[in-house]
Amino acid sequence: MKRTLFFVLLLIVIVVSATQFTLPSRQSTQQDFNDPNYVEFKSGVRRLRDGTIEVSSLVNMPEVTSNMFRWWFTDYLQTTEHYKMWHPEDHVWMDWEHKKSGEITGSHHLVHEYIGGELSKLRIQFALPQEILGYDPSEENTVVLCARVGELDSSLNIAEMCHVAQDTPWGIELRSRFWLGVVSDREAANWQNFLLSLVANNPISRRFTVSEIEGFALQKHCIEEMSYLAALLPTIYNL
């Protein structure tokens, strides 16, 4: 019986590994922002070779500039009331830690929000784009905001994300990407995170811990909140 179970598990590992090899890598998808005309994965949810779930959304924001988008995070967004304006149904509460006026990198956005009908309590830790993508696609007409996403009630990080706002003649194209299942402990030592990564950051573990259903719920939430923001920014920026 034990031998049969062993071979069944071994077969599952082989099948999953073979299937994963045919999928795109996370590193290759992160290079999409190097090309201003990238079109391969504008919007959708898919599993990547390393087992992470990639969530992509595209929201057109007429009469909005990339500077307005940056200003929302660096200067305007300060209270729960502001946060609820961003998504009246899903956003519940917010606060900041390590926040400096006019800056976003290094700040922690603490939020309670509903995603897919479930209340999520999150710590969004804004980082340099190079830390998430391996390079910085920012330039004169493009603003890039990247972050690690963690649980608010623990020290566990569970995802990475980037918003890329690109100016056009009519407004901005906002492309958002999330990679679910990127696990680390922000308070642990390097050796502890190495062991955690061996257990959690592999295709088989991620198959059991992150799903496409979660991805579609997040995509819906992101499109909705950025659509609300598209309607808000031209008015509040000019007050």
| Non-local CB neighbours of 176 within 8 Å, separated by 6+ positions | 55, 56, 57, 58, 59, 161, 162, 163, 164, 222, 226
- The span from the CA of 171 to the CA of 217, in Å, is 26
- The span from the CA of 46 to the CA of 20, in Å, is 12
52, 26 contact by CB (below 8 A): yes
Query: For 24-237, which CATH superfamily applies?
Result: START domain (3.30.530.20)
Pick the closest to residue 85 from 217, 219, 233 (CA basis): 233
Output 161 or 9, whichever has higher pLDDT. Answer: 161
Judged against a pLDDT cut of 90, whether residue 16 lies above it is answered with: no
Arithmetic mean of pLDDT over the chain:
90
Judged against a pLDDT cut of 60, whether residue 48 lies above it is answered with: yes
- The span from the CA of 54 to the CA of 44, in Å, is 8
pLDDT of residue 19: 56
E strands of 63-205, at which residues?
Answer: 91-97, 108-115, 118-127, 142-151, 156-168, 171-185
pLDDT of residue 15: 54
Average pLDDT over residues 5-33: 61
What is the pTM assigned to this prediction? 0.88
The tokens for 190 are 């390097």
146-167 per-position pLDDT tens digit: 999 999 999 999 999 999 999 9
- The span from the CA of 128 to the CA of 145, in Å, is 8
DSSP string for residues in 16-55 = HHHHHHTSPPHHHHHGGGGSTT--TTSSEEEE-TTSPEEE
Pick the closest to residue 203 from 22, 3, 6 (CA basis): 22
User: Tokens 């998808």 — which residue?
Assistant: 29
Split at pLDDT 50, 70, 90, the class of 10 is low
List the chain domain ranges: 24-237
